[in-house]
A and B are shown apart, each in its own frame.
Chain A
Amino acid sequence: MNADFAGQIAPMFDLSGKVALVTGGAVGMGKGAGLAMAAAGANVVLADEADRVAALADLPAGVSAKACDITSEASLQELVVSVIAAHGGIDILINGAVVNHNKPILETSAEEWDRVQAINLRSAFVVTREVVPSMQQRGGGRIINITTMGSVHPVLNGNGAYSASRAGLNQFTRNCALDFAGDGITANAILPGAIITETIPSGLRPTGPGADPARHLGGYGKVDDVTGLALLLAAPAGRYITGQLIAVDGGFLVS
């Protein structure tokens, strides 16, 4: 066995000097991905709702948090301006902001639909639009969108609005990959499966394929299960991967 494997592998995943912005960064997979970027050497800004940001404690060195209103274009613009002012630019964008929505389609109001799309899709568009010019100036960048396996195969009854918003983000990801390839910017989406996080509503009694534990061949996942892929997509090792929708689902899509 090669005795110096640490010295050989670490540089492939080194993010020293990089700046990462994570929306939905105070909880769940956004937070996990952000902390993984920090462990790889990046300066990380976790952006989220004010109460979630206030609840963050004991952030490691190189990690800061900033409150924003994910539904407000002005607030998101201000967020990006402040991150660039503080850190000089942005190299890695993780669009992790998300709201779960589980309600029968026939009972879903247009207002609810619009709110789900605003948080889960429109916010990613706005933040990406504001961040990409900085990536272009810096000669490249990485866009990582966190969607769901439910965007390609229905998981739960009542997830219509949610899944549609995430499917929209998938295709937005692919179009970003096309539009910005010439700038050295890659764009990919992570499609998590049944990852257990603190934001899953309690008392939910879901029905549908995903409610059957047997469909999750690898059992239920945890936040750490997606951080490895996030790191690959952000790191030098993932430079040639773009436009991809990559499931981290414990085999649900082949169950």
Chain B
Amino acid sequence: MAVDTQAICDLFSVPGKVAIITGAGSGIGEATAHLFSKAGARVVIADLVPADGQRVADAIAAEGGEAIAVACDVSDEAQVKAMVAKAREAFGGVDILVNNAAYRPKADFFEMGVEDWDKMHAVNTRGTFLCMREVIKVMRDQGKERGGAIVNISTIGTALPTIVNNVHYDSSKAGVNSITKSTATEFAADGIRINAVMPGGVDTGGAKKMQTDPSRNFVPKGPIMMPGRLLLGIAQPIQLASAILFLASPASSYMTGHIMAVDGGYLVG
């Protein structure tokens, strides 16, 4: 049977949509930014590290896409407001938000300072809230017909513990799950769909650094490190990006409030 390319692309593409992706300077965010561009989106690369964001924006432009880089610490309210304002200024609105930026350093349960705990929740939980608040204001003003889609990146660790020394991270992401469901309910009437993806083990720069940087003094241990627990092996960032695109695209137009694991079978392993 011949492929109906038009029908497939109508489902899984986001032509002309404006997508803000936080933490898009590396890892899952970078893969998502490239994929969204390939799917027709105009992309706002928001990243804490300006050089990383600019590198990804330049790479997308070189591929024939449209992207701008905006430096942003998502835990900083003023910077989030400025980032969303720049997105509107550059592209005239916002249709998609992917809350991918995350803080990840591990900490021993007993030695964890309140500053570690607070920083984790400031970036992962408060940052998600701040970006959603500013973007939902824009989406709501754009009207129900245009609506919007938000995809929050959580972790499989919120459903089943993965590694030790990660209590603060899992807690911050469980908050993201809760925000996802609460806002899905609250803004359904505005045509805004809000879902989350729970990655398992992903082969990203951050994860590699976590395992090789001796200054972090962290040896990952826990269920996810047991051989065979990731039934399909470790994920490549594009495999997460694919699921994120699905949740941002018309293919998922009847889905909201869902927390979807893309974990290579960890939850059933």
Contacts and interface: CB of A to CB of B under 8 A. Distances in A.
Interface of A: 1-6, 8-10, 12-16, 38-44, 60-63, 174-175, 177-178, 181-182, 186, 193, 217-218, 221, 225-229, 231-232, 237-244, 246-251, 253-255
A237 B242 contact: yes
Given A1-B15, A5-B15, A6-B9, A40 B254 contact: no
Interface string B174-197: 000000011011001100010000
B1 interface: yes
Interface stretch (B23-31, B78-86, B101-109, B256-264): B256-264
B1 A63 contact: yes
A22 to B, nearest CB: 14
Contacts of A240: 232, 235, 239-240, 242-243, 262-264
A1 B41 contact: yes
A228 B63 contact: no
B269 A178 contact: yes
Interface in B26-60: 37-42
A41 B7 CA distance: 11
A178 B1 contact: no
B251 A228 contact: yes
A171 B123 CA distance: 36
A254 B1 CA distance: 39
B257 A248 contact: no
A9 B38 contact: yes
Interface residues of B, number: 59
Contacts of B265: 177-178, 181, 186, 242-243
B8 interface: yes
Nearest to A193: B254
Given A5-B40, A16-B3, A178-B268, A251 B242 contact: no
A13 B8 contact: yes
B175 to A, nearest CB: 16
B184 A178 contact: no
B260 A244 contact: yes
B207 interface: no
Nearest 8 pairs of A and B residues by beta carbon: A62-B1, A228-B251, A254-B257, A243-B268, A181-B231, A225-B254, A217-B188, A8-B38
Given A41-B2, A175-B268, A243-B267, 11 more contacts: A4-B64, A5-B13, A13-B12, A42-B1, A43-B1, A181-B265, A218-B193, A218-B254, A218-B256, A250-B256, A253-B258
A2 B251 contact: no
Nearest to A5: B40
A242 B268 contact: yes
8 contacts: A1-B40, A1-B41, A2-B63, A6-B5, A9-B13, A177-B231, A186-B232, A229-B252
A247 B2 contact: no
Contacts of A237: 12, 242-243, 245-246
B4 A181 contact: no
